[in-house]
Amino acid sequence: MLDEDRRVAVFVVCDGMGGAQAGNIASSMAADHFMDFMKKSVENGGDIAAAMSGAVAAANTAVYDKSSGDENCAGMGTTLVAAAVTRDSCAIVNIGDSRAYKVTGDAIYQVTKDHSVVEEMIDRGDITRMEAKEHPKKNLITRALGTNADEPPDVFRPELSEGDLLLLCSDGLSNIVEEREMYYEIEYSRDIRESCERLVGLALSRGAPDNVTAVLFQK
């Protein structure tokens, strides 16, 4: 969503779980309810950063109620990573292992932190980050939107300078494409749409076993 009058950009990536059909329902519902909430907040002139947590809560309630009330969707959930950028601020929220990266003229930085089994193992010192990439439990997440009645997100407020970029993506990209490769594809492309297409294409060409989604925004 881009509101040029208020100079606000909002974007979100969700990656569903719970079987193909239920996962698609969960991710679509979460994205739709999140964006509906944010659109109303922007139109009403509310605080954008504060609205992000409210938007996550609305999305979580919708998915949780659907999962609880429809046996065909029982146990479904979804990851969520979203960003809201204004002229002088940036807020990012996440639940699960979909990620946000900040890309500057000379580096790429992971902004969010995965809610996953391997991330907890890294924190305990059980495995290294390189070992995590090949670990058999690398796809197991510890938190997901819609699996509990209340699931507050982690919130990040990175500083963005003119020309910096934000990359939001599912683990279908981050598990397959190295950060240095992401940086190369973004930095050496003249067009952000082309960069996204190249990143997704690269993951798919390597046989990505999961959904591959990427959103790229330049301030």
The larger pLDDT score, comparing residue 154 to residue 135, is at 154
For the beta sheet containing 8-17, the strands, ordered from the edge strand earlier in sequence to the opposite edge, are: 2-3, 8-17, 77-85, 90-95, 154-156
Asked whether the CA dihedral 129, 185, 153, 136 is positive or negative, the reply is negative
Mean pLDDT of 75-83: 95
Is residue 4 predicted with pLDDT exceeding 60? Answer: no
User: Considering the entire predicted model, what is its pTM?
Assistant: 0.92
Please give the pLDDT value at position 199. 94
Residue 2 pLDDT level (bands cut at 50, 70, 90): low
Q: Which residue ranges form the domains of the chain, and what is each CATH number?
A: 2-218 (3.60.40.10)
Is residue 5 predicted with pLDDT exceeding 60? Answer: no
Residue 188 pLDDT level (bands cut at 50, 70, 90): confident
| Minimum mean pLDDT range among 18-22, 142-146, 157-161, 210-214 | 18-22
